[in-house]
Structure 1
Amino acid sequence: MSATSNGRARASFVAVGDSFTEGLNDPGPDGGFRGWADRVAERLALDEPGFRYANLAVRGKLLEQVVTDQVPVAVAMRPDLVSFCAGANDLLRPGADPDRMAKTFARAVRELRATGAEVLLFTGVDPRDTPIMRRARGRFAIFYLHVRSIADLYGCRLVDLWSMQGLRDWRAWSEDRLHMNEEGHRLVAARVLDVLGVPGGGSWRKEWPPRPVVAPRDRRAEDARWMREHLLPWVGRRIRGTSSGDTITPKRPELAPYE
């Protein structure tokens, strides 16, 4: 049986956040997205008859939106385990203040911990090699240092993606270079289960084979296609003040038995 740090059985799990937790771009069997949270739920369900799971995450959401729209729902559900990951979409925007964000983040963690739930927090992947994110690397580092401190202060479990070298390889990411692919989500799920002390999740350590050599001309063509198909639409949404998640609803809005 899987149990929390205070001995409670992990009979229910609620996932809160943005596209990372929704599961983009890990294709699921039903035509939607699977993702690391579904993979973790699948493993936890093996140990607990009647296990229940909800995933409230929606792509594109900012930290304040997650805290306002999703956290109160998770609190009302009173699950045994809650995962909370948000803030990356804010940090991509000019003028984002990681210190102010940390106060909002800490308030949400206090509310979740007050229910008695075990809370799972995340640092992000080091954005050094990511074209859009690397210029904001300093903001990301400051915010995730805050997350580490908040996890320590409130007794949360921390999943440190920053240290996962396997996620530094582009083969763990989808074509948009912003969301992990199937293998990336599998590695994160394995790390989460390891942090939770649940066996059978596989290894989160990944040694990739040498990368094939790509001719400079082919590399330039690939970068141009990425800009046309992914970067420019992303910039356009920022200019219009819209989000990829504006018309999206949570894929598992109710805490229900997991099949």
Structure 2
Amino acid sequence: MTVESSLGARTAVPPGSATPDGPVRFAVLGDSFSEGLGDRVDGAWRGWAPLLADGLAAEGRKTVLLNLAVGGALSRDVDEDQRPRALAFRPHLASVVVGVNDTLRRTFDIGLLAHRLDRVLADLDAAGAVVLTACLPDPGRMLGLPPPLARPLARRQRTVNAVVHALSDRYDTVHLHLDDATWTEDRALWSADRLHPGERGHRAVAAAFHRLLVARGLAHGTPPAREPAEPPPTRAEALLWLATAGTGWVLRRSRDLLPQLLLLAGAELRHWADGTGTDPLDARADAALAAALTATMGR
């Protein structure tokens, strides 16, 4: 497998061909979930995409992987920055997994996210790429936040997943459900930060995508191994990560996230205090989602 990074090509890659003798071109768009955070090999993040790429092509055919995913990326970044580069790569397969970072922002707008994601998927589909998508668990539940903080994030992620489901149906994507209990309740799949898969989780994601692709006749290589090749991090290493890189992750987002989370939590508590519960907030989110889907699916 030939690999290009999001920072530029390490190896010159020919345009390739859609014929059986040409390389399979696989573009990866998204955020840290697809960048590989939580699965470090030889000092660099690997993740599920290279593991899947190794099992795409039949014997004698190469796979060229272009991973454009960057930690912290928003739907805007995928639409404006990663989409043009992916289209220029002319991929046969392209994965698009994004949205969690949008839910952690003050400026979260489900209508804009739906519009951007629709444009990304539409352009890749029109270019002839088979698109891979996934819905993700909400970060509040994964982090074990208290209910007033967790509920707003869950509400936002629920709308993101609803948009992803609708667009996945529209473009007949290869879709993976990562927000169900099979994935979220198995802590062995997740890294120390509880937001990104560890090596076992990345291998599980790669294997699940591989099964779906095989069912469509789109993967012809050996399935990714399910068992980790690297030893799991020790408890001391996990605590060190949380105290260094993990703390940095939280602090970088707290400049925008923490004030917004406090406002959202305050709204939750006010509705509980006046006896209305979360029904008005749920209704508002449902209305915004309905408007987003109407606008997007009507185009």
Count of residues paired in the alignment: 219
Confirm whether residue 150 of structure 1 aligns to residue 167 of structure 2.
yes
C-alpha separation in 1, matches of 2:104 and 2:144: 11
Shift of the alpha carbon at 1:140?
0.5
Instruction: Provide the residue aligned with 2:34 in structure 1.
Output: 21
- Give, in angstroms, the shift of residue 51 of structure 1: 2.4
Distance 1:235 1:126 in 2: 16
1:40 deviation in Å? 0.4
Q: Does 2:134 correspond to 1:122?
A: yes
The residue correspondences of 1:128-167 to structure 2 (distance < 5 A) are 128-131=141-144, 134-135=150-151, 136-163=153-180, 165-167=182-184
The Cα shift of 1:166 comes to 3.7
- Compare relative contact order (CA 8 Å, sep 6+) and give the higher one, 1 or 2: 1
2:71 counterpart residue number:
59
Distance 1:121 1:153 in 2: 12
Q: Secondary structure at the match of 2:44?
A: coil
SS in 2 for 1:159: strand
Give the drift of 1:8: 7.4
Q: 2:49 aligns with which of 11, 22, 37?
A: 37
TM-score (norm 1): 0.73
Pair 1:187 & 2:204 matched: yes
1:169-210 superposed Cα distances (whole Å, 9 cap, x missing partner): 222111122211100101101111111124743698xxxxxx
What SS does the aligned partner of 2:40 have?
coil
Question: 1:1-259 residue pairs with structure 2 within 5 A?
Answer: 11-28=24-41, 30-47=42-59, 49-127=61-139, 128-131=141-144, 134-135=150-151, 136-163=153-180, 165-197=182-214, 198=219, 200-201=222-223, 228-229=243-244, 232-240=247-255
Counting helix residues as a fraction of each chain, which structure ranks higher? 2
Alpha-carbon distance, 1:115 to partner: 0.4
Q: Rate the CA distance shift 1:57–1:86 in 2: closer, same or farther, 3 A.
A: same
| Structure 2 contact 75–98 (Cα < 8 Å) conserved | yes
How far apart are the structure 2 equivalents of 1:48 and 1:123? 33
Distance in 2 (alpha carbons) for counterparts of 1:93 and 1:70: 20
Query: Which residues of structure 2 form unaligned runs of 5+?
Result: 1-17, 227-238, 257-299
User: Do the aligned partners of 2:52 and 2:224 also contact (CA within 8 Å) in 1?
Assistant: no
Cα separation, 2, equivalents of 1:235 and 1:53:
30
Q: How much is the aligned-residue C-alpha RMSD, in angstroms?
A: 3.1
Aligned residues of 1:43 and 1:201 also touching (Cα < 8 A)? yes
For 1:146 and 1:202, how far apart are their aligned partners in 2?
29
Look up the SS of the partner of 2:45 in the other structure: coil
1: distance between equivalents of 2:60 and 2:102? 36
Equivalent residue number for residue 252 of structure 1: none
Paired residue secondary structure (2:56) = helix
* Letter in structure 2 aligned against 1:100: L
The Cα shift of 1:160 comes to 1.3
Cα offset for 1:227?
7.0
Say whether the 8 Å CA contact 2:75–2:102 is kept in structure 1: yes
Residues 108-155 of structure 1: CA deviation (Å, up to 9, x unaligned):
111111101111111113543433584301111111111111011122
Deviations 1:150-170 (A, max 9, x none): 011122221111236144222
| Residue pair 1:61, 1:89 contacting (<8 A) in 2 also | yes
SS in 2 for 1:44: coil
Work out whether residues 99 and 143 of structure 1, in 8 Å CA contact, stay in contact via their aligned partners in 2. no
The question of whether the paired residues in 1 share the 8 Å contact of 2:133 and 2:164 is answered with yes
Distance in 1 of aligned mates of 2:106 and 2:50: 32
